[in-house]
């Protein structure tokens, strides 16, 4: 078959497949054009998920008739002052969006330049361009896309259900709205309003947080930590969630480069590295990060969709992200997200929770005892048990001196006065429950601490600090402990003996399948050396042929810290509990253990009172 030149209409349709793969891609291109035109308000209307209609209206600078005619030609753009594709300072620049959309749909553009006395419109039907005609429109531009992919039925068959396509449209618009909090956005589908964002005002960082809270949820806004760092002319700003606020997917991780939403593997990997100390491997943090970099240092012309970028200095960008995020998390100190307490209260409420559960509760008020609603269905035997519960306690008719003493954490203190130390962030210890949980009283509620998880984080941070200071101090065992393993595990341990010694653990081979432990890290105290060695052997098996343990320091230190921390089931004195609380307050990241679980739960007194119907 001879070689022939394809007709322009077919060429445009082929090119459209790279730029406009679904309705959300068309919305993205049109909204980016509006933002580049200086719009302060963008209204989007779709129908059938964008398959039947997409309409984008803005109040930007608008276009003259001759500009309108040129805008639908391929590779015609006003966004490149010269011919340098490296110096790109706008969201769009390729000049492909409008002609690509017009090639696969019925496209109508109406526009009016600011200060002009009339508007003009132009129609492109499946690649066939009409002539500009007078129109009625306020200053700005309105683009209507009808019957998307009608000219390409094969592409239309591969689109998802209307609901799915609409979700993609909304997600695309929300990402652009995050990067431009000073612009108002609306989204409607078949007359139903899906999104309505007013332009944020005030201090830029706070305005951005308000916009993020609207789109990502109030939980994120209440538990976000600011990020603002500069290195060699590259600035990273934004907000990141506390480690105890996490999700099973990375859907709520939003990354932007010079205001452009991107999905960059380098940035995603840097985020994962920054949170590696604090989250389980299958959980993901919530965040929105905005990278501002010289356009000459980043290539956004990787793909027509412009969702991928390449950095000239990848090490600088990765180092900036990891360092800035770790610094921000360290500044959060012992904070844990408020969602931990909310989840705890939800678990304490009757099944169904919330106001509905409260309304269905079988009591209607408080007096000297429970007052049961007349209409409530009381289970059989409940009245008898309630009567027995309200009966006078045995021994109340005896003399006070003959009654058994009542235990309190601080006997002799005024029962109505707060305990000493209640003004600390984590309060004053009052009791230990099941030899596992510390209950502390604060000025506004109570704190419940998992003693093992909390101490595990403290030991872990001390171990990392000791390593940075020159090495972990070792403590020799009076009687060296022989640990039996399988031969491969023993061989792995002895092969890494020198690196383990830097971490404070000295092991030596002791025959086939055995090692002897002579020294352990001093800060672990009375650790179970045999259990520690067995767990480290399993850890080394997972690490495989990693050239150095220091590359996976977090896993090894976390294993050691787990064995060196206060165990669940150990009884603590009030002084020991208070000492643990004070160390938590002074230690960064103590709000979560090494495995990403919260170390404490805070319950406000007002919330506790709601549980009992006092509010």
For residue range 154-199, what is the model confidence (pLDDT) as tens digits? 778 889 999 999 999 999 999 999 999 999 999 999 889 999 999 9
Is 50 exceeded by the pLDDT of residue 2? yes
Distance CA 108, CA 278 (A): 51
Show which of 197, 230, 259 is a domain's final residue. 197
Averaged pLDDT, 243-261: 91
- Assess whether 185 and 245 both reside in one domain: no
pLDDT of residue 123: 95
Closest CA to 274 of 589, 560, 601, 587: 589
For residue 567 the two structure tokens come to 């165990």
pLDDT of residue 435: 87
Between 319 and 570, the more confident residue is 319
Angle between helical axes of 162-179 and 23-36 (0-180°, round to 10): 20
Task: Please report, for residues 10, 62, 129, the alpha-carbon distance to residue 125 in angstroms, rounded to integers and kept in the order given.
Answer: 14, 22, 7
Show which of 181, 197, 213 is a domain's final residue. 197
Query: For residue 612, is it within any domain?
Result: no
pLDDT of residue 498: 84
Domain containing residue 495: CATH number: 3.30.1370.100
Domain containing residue 247: CATH number: 3.30.230.10
Binned at pLDDT 50, 70 and 90, residue 408 comes out as very low
Instruction: State whether residue 395 is helix, strand or coil.
Output: coil
Is 70 exceeded by the pLDDT of residue 560? no
* Region of poorest pLDDT, from 271-275, 288-292, 515-519, 590-594: 590-594
Distance CA 87, CA 94 (A): 13
Query: For residue 341, is it within any domain?
Result: no
- Assess whether 591 and 499 both reside in one domain: yes
Distance CA 386, CA 373 (A): 14
pLDDT of residue 93: 66
Which stretch, 341-355, 365-379, 495-509, has highest mean pLDDT?
495-509
Query: For residue 358, is it within any domain?
Result: no
pLDDT of residue 381: 53
Strands 363-366 and 370-372 come out as antiparallel
- Assess whether 232 and 160 both reside in one domain: no
Query: For residue 360, is it within any domain?
Result: no
pLDDT of residue 461: 81
How many domains does one find in the chain?
3
**Residues 51-63 pLDDT 10s:** 999 999 999 999 9
Is 50 exceeded by the pLDDT of residue 402? no
pLDDT of residue 555: 58
* Region of poorest pLDDT, from 344-353, 361-370, 532-541: 361-370
Domain containing residue 118: CATH number: 3.30.565.10
Distance CA 64, CA 184 (A): 25
Contact 323, 222 (CB under 8 A): no
**Residues 421-465 pLDDT 10s:** 778 889 999 999 998 999 999 998 999 999 988 888 888 888 777
Average pLDDT value for the chain: 81
Is 50 exceeded by the pLDDT of residue 389? no
Binned at pLDDT 50, 70 and 90, residue 361 comes out as very low
For residue 497 the two structure tokens come to 């003996």
Query: For residue 351, is it within any domain?
Result: no
- Assess whether 147 and 13 both reside in one domain: yes
User: What is the enclosing helix (H) or strand (E) of 330?
Assistant: helix 314-331
Distance CA 560, CA 554 (A): 10
E strands present in 133-248: 133-135, 140-146, 184-189, 192-197, 224-231, 234-241, 246-247
Between 486 and 352, the more confident residue is 486
Binned at pLDDT 50, 70 and 90, residue 79 comes out as low
138: CB partners within 8 A, 6+ apart = 59, 112
Between 133 and 19, the more confident residue is 133
341: CB partners within 8 A, 6+ apart = 601, 602, 603, 604, 607
- Assess whether 282 and 190 both reside in one domain: no
- Assess whether 299 and 249 both reside in one domain: yes
Query: For residue 245, is it within any domain?
Result: yes
Show which of 173, 197, 221 is a domain's final residue. 197
Contact 109, 142 (CB under 8 A): yes
E strands present in 166-223: 184-189, 192-197
Binned at pLDDT 50, 70 and 90, residue 5 comes out as confident
Distance CA 524, CA 460 (A): 10
* Structural domain boundaries enclosing 189: 8-197
> Taking the mean position of all CA atoms in its chain, how far away is CA 390?
48
Contact 126, 9 (CB under 8 A): yes
Is 60 exceeded by the pLDDT of residue 401? no
* Region of poorest pLDDT, from 78-82, 142-146, 319-323: 78-82
Name residue 237's beta-bridge partners: 228, 290
Distance CA 52, CA 39 (A): 25
pLDDT of residue 148: 92
- Assess whether 13 and 106 both reside in one domain: yes
Per-residue b or e along 554-568, where b marks 16 or more CB atoms closer than 10 Å to that residue's CB: ebbbbbbbbbbbbee
Between 103 and 232, the more confident residue is 232
pLDDT of residue 544: 62
* Region of poorest pLDDT, from 40-49, 362-371, 398-407: 362-371
- Assess whether 158 and 267 both reside in one domain: no
- Assess whether 174 and 221 both reside in one domain: no
- Assess whether 154 and 230 both reside in one domain: no
- Assess whether 178 and 241 both reside in one domain: no
Is 90 exceeded by the pLDDT of residue 211? yes
pTM above 0.85, yes or no: no
CA-based radius of gyration for the chain = 32
Between 197 and 532, the more confident residue is 197
Query: For residue 614, is it within any domain?
Result: no
Query: For residue 506, is it within any domain?
Result: yes
Torsion, CA 555, CA 561, CA 567, CA 572, rounded to 10: -150
- Assess whether 283 and 167 both reside in one domain: no
Closest CA to 75 of 93, 97, 98, 95: 95
Binned at pLDDT 50, 70 and 90, residue 466 comes out as confident
């Amino acid at each position: 078959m001879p070689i022939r030149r394809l007709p322009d209409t077919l060429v445009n349709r082929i090119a459209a497949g790279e730029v406009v793969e679904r309705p959300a891609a068309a919305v993205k291109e049109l909204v980016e054009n509006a933002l580049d035109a200086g719009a302060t308000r963008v209204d989007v209307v779709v129908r059938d998920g964008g398959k039947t209609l997409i309409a984008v209206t803005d109040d930007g600078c608008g276009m003259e008739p001759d500009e309108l005619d040129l805008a639908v030609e391929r590779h015609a753009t006003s966004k490149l002052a010269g011919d340098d594709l490296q110096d790109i300072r706008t969201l769009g620049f390729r000049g492909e969006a409008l002609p690509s959309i017009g090639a696969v749909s019925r496209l109508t553009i109406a526009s009016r330049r600011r200060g002009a006395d009339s508007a003009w419109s132009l129609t492109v039907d499946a690649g066939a361009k009409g002539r500009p005609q007078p129109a009625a429109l306020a200053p700005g531009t309105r683009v209507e896309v009808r019957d998307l992919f009608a000219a390409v039925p094969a592409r239309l068959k591969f689109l998802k259900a209307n609901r799915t396509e609409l979700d993609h449209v909304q997600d695309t618009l929300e990402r652009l709205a995050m990067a431009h909090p000073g612009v108002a956005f609306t989204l409607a589908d078949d007359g139903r309003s899906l999104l309505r964002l007013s332009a944020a005002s005030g201090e830029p960082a706070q305005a951005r947080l308000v916009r993020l809270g609207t789109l990502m949820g109030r939980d994120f806004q209440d538990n976000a930590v600011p990020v603002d760092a500069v290195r060699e002319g590259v600035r990273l700003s934004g907000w990141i969630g506390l480690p105890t606020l996490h999700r099973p997917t990375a859907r709520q991780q939003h990354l932007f480069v010079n205001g452009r939403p991107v999905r960059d593997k380098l940035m995603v990997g840097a985020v994962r590295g920054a949170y590696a100390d604090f989250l389980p491997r299958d959980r993901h943090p919530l965040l929105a990060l905005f990278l501002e970099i010289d356009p000459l240092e980043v290539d956004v012309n990787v793909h027509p969709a412009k969702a991928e970028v390449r950095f000239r200095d990848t090490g600088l960008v990765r180092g900036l992200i990891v360092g800035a995020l770790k610094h921000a998390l360290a500044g959060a100190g012992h904070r844990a997200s408020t969602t931990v307490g909310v989840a705890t209260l939800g678990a304490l409420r009757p099944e169904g929770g919330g106001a509905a559960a409260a309304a269905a509760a079988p009591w209607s008020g408080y007096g000297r005892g429970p007052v049961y609603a007349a209409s409530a269905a009381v289970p059989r035997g409940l009245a008898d048990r309630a009567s027995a519960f309200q009966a006078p306690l045995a021994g109340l008719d005896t003399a006070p001196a003959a009654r058994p003493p009542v235990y309190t954490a601080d006997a002799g203190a005024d029962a109505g006065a707060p305990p000493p130390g209640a003004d600390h962030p984590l309060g004053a210890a009052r009791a230990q429950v099941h030899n596992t949980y510390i209950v502390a009283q604060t000025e506004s509620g109570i704190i419940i601490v998992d003693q093992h998880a909390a101490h595990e984080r403290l030991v872990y941070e001390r171990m990392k600090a000791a390593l940075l200071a020159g090495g972990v101090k070792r403590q020799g065992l009076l009687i060296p402990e022989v640990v039996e393993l399988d031969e491969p595990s023993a061989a792995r341990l002895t092969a890494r003996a020198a690196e383990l010694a830097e971490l404070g653990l000295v092991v030596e081979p002791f025959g086939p399948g055995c090692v002897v432990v002579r020294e352990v890290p001093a800060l672990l105290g009375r650790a179970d050396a045999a259990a520690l060695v067995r767990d480290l052997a399993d850890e080394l098996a997972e690490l495989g042929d990693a050239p150095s343990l220091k590359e996976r320091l977090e896993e090894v230190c976390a294993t050691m810290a787990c064995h060196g921390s206060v165990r669940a089931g150990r009884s603590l004195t009030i002084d020991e509990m208070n000492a643990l609380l004070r160390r938590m307050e002074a230690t960064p990241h103590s709000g979560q253990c090494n495995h990403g679980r919260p170390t404490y739960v805070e319950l406000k007194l007002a919330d506790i009172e709601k549980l009992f119907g006092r509010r």
